[in-house]
Copies of this chain bind each other. A is one copy, B any other.
């Protein structure tokens, strides 16, 4: 099993979010070639600002191994983590993050902010971008296109924000 295999598992998680009309972002955490945590974005349906895919996956992984330090673990995530999630990766001492696509608005792994590799903090994360990039980007773009159509047809003024 390789990075593409595990990123496809993260994409499966993203698809679960899409079914709930959530922005389709998914994540898995892998240790010794085994998935120990999974998560997908549930911010709107869960009414919880912290329910990002990465946070949910970290909580599950910590629970599974019975420790807050996720040493020797890699996170696979379909969109670049925001400040909260990049901070959580640092706090959990994750070794490596494989990120499908950059987030030009809130990405905190080098695109808008650099938290994941910030030398001022006590842990830095090895980063790799671009695994399954086109597929992950397409899923998100398609979601927003569909959402705009839905809103236009339904004159629904609810405000979906990332």
Residues of A within 8 A of B (CB): 43-44, 46-52, 55, 58-59, 62-63, 66-70, 82-88, 90-93, 105-106, 108, 112-113, 115, 118, 120-122, 161
Contact = CB atoms under 8 A, between A and B. Distances in A.
Contacts of A86: 83, 87
Contact of A115 (B49, B51, B58, B83): B83
- Chain A to chain B: the 10 pairs with minimum beta-carbon distance, closest first: A84-B87, A83-B87, A49-B92, A49-B68, A84-B88, A49-B91, A48-B62, A83-B115, A112-B120, A87-B87
Contact of A83 (B59, B83, B93, B161): B83
State how many copies of this chain the complex holds.
2
B120 A113 contact: yes
A155 to B, nearest CB: 22
Given A83-B90, A87-B108, A88-B84, A47 B70 contact: no
Contacts of A50: 50, 55, 58-59, 62, 88, 91-92
24 contacts: A43-B68, A47-B62, A47-B63, A47-B67, A47-B68, A48-B58, A48-B62, A49-B62, A49-B70, A49-B91, A49-B92, A51-B68, A52-B91, A82-B87, A83-B115, A83-B118, A84-B84, A84-B87, A87-B87, A87-B108, A106-B121, A106-B122, A112-B121, A113-B115
